[in-house]
Amino acid sequence: MKIKPFILAIFIGLYCYPLLSQAQNSTLDPSRVKWSGLHYKTYIVFFSMNIKAQLNQISQSAAKNALLTPKEGEGTMPQADPSYRIDLDTKIMGRKSFISLWFDPNGNAFQRTQTDTGSKKRLKTYRITKNGYYSRQAKPKEQEQDLPPNQWTDIGEGKKKFNKLAPAGTTIIEPTALYYLVSASSLNKPGDKFQKYMFTKHGIYQLNLQAIDYKNIEVSFKSQQNGEKTTVRSDEYKTLHIKMNAVPIDPAGADDFDFLGLKGDIDLYIDPVSRVLLQISGDADIIGYTDIKLQAVTF
């Protein structure tokens, strides 16, 4: 029996891509994000991690001025004013990195810059384009080892065009913004779901988050609001437990998604009131299941 083209199209729309329409409706509300700074830490035998995140609101013009112009392709541009930049100061197993991501209030990412110091020095920028990315990397020459990154002159450039893309007009986030995303999302109670498309250097992934239940966890962190005296929370905390995973839309050649070295299904625990991400848990190579806990938050 022959299937008429329009019937086939309806079938594909209903069954083969069921998440696209849901992803379209997964908007973010920046008014839910009350924090400006986060500090996370974990330490177990043979593994340590220290992460400090700072969220900055910036003007649309300042965001545009910070973005590289790709030599090929059209870079995505901020449409909202203001936009955001999140800065991550990380130290993982002795490796120090400073990461900046520019994105709009709905999470749409434009550019990611990472500066690595220590034994391996480099400054690498991924400028997100309509169909992939343009990259620029700077390393210090032998006589430039003591110079700041903006004076390194060993330059390399690259580009990548993804085989499969998210539908035109959909928001594409980047993993660095996940701290912002969980706070700004519509995940309020068990059963709520949230989906977005996500950029990585390997390709586009579909990010899936689902609120599972309420769970009590042990917390110990410092909290400061409006520059006032710091308070310490050290007790059992009722949190909204969220499961997170990501699936490549083009499995060919794609790596398994990981966040902070955690792979597979990742457990997130947020404060239902302040919307702050209190704990990130999951499986990591060699060390197994581990918890990355909030140490401090500023509002």
Dist. CA 221–CA 240, nearest whole Å: 18
**HSE on the CB side for 284, CA within 13 Å?**
17
For the purposes of burial, counting CB atoms within 10 Å of the CB of 11, is it exposed (0-12), middle (13-18) or buried (19 or more)? exposed
Position 13 scores a pLDDT of 38
pTM for the model: 0.88
pLDDT cut 90: percent of the chain above it: 78
Whether 52 and 42 have beta carbons less than 8 Å apart is answered as no
Q: Provide the token pair at 131.
A: 């169909």
Dist. CA 271–CA 273, nearest whole Å: 5
Position 229 scores a pLDDT of 86
Whether 100 and 113 have beta carbons less than 8 Å apart is answered as yes
Tens of pLDDT along 5-15?
333 333 333 33
Torsion sign (Cα): 286, 98, 40, 194: negative
Residue 201 φ then ψ, to 5°: -65, -15
Full pLDDT tens readout for the chain, 299 residues: 444 433 333 333 333 333 443 433 478 999 999 999 999 999 777 778 999 999 999 999 999 999 999 988 899 999 899 999 999 999 987 789 999 999 999 999 999 999 998 778 999 999 999 999 999 999 999 999 999 999 999 999 999 999 999 998 899 999 999 999 999 999 999 999 999 999 999 999 999 999 999 999 999 999 999 888 899 999 999 999 999 999 999 988 778 899 998 999 999 999 999 999 999 999 988 888 999 999 999 99
Tens of pLDDT along 229-255?
899 999 999 999 999 999 999 988 778
**HSE on the CB side for 226, CA within 13 Å?**
0
Please, which residues have CB within 8 angstroms of residue 270's CB and are 6 or more apart in sequence? 182, 183, 187, 239, 240, 242, 276, 277, 278
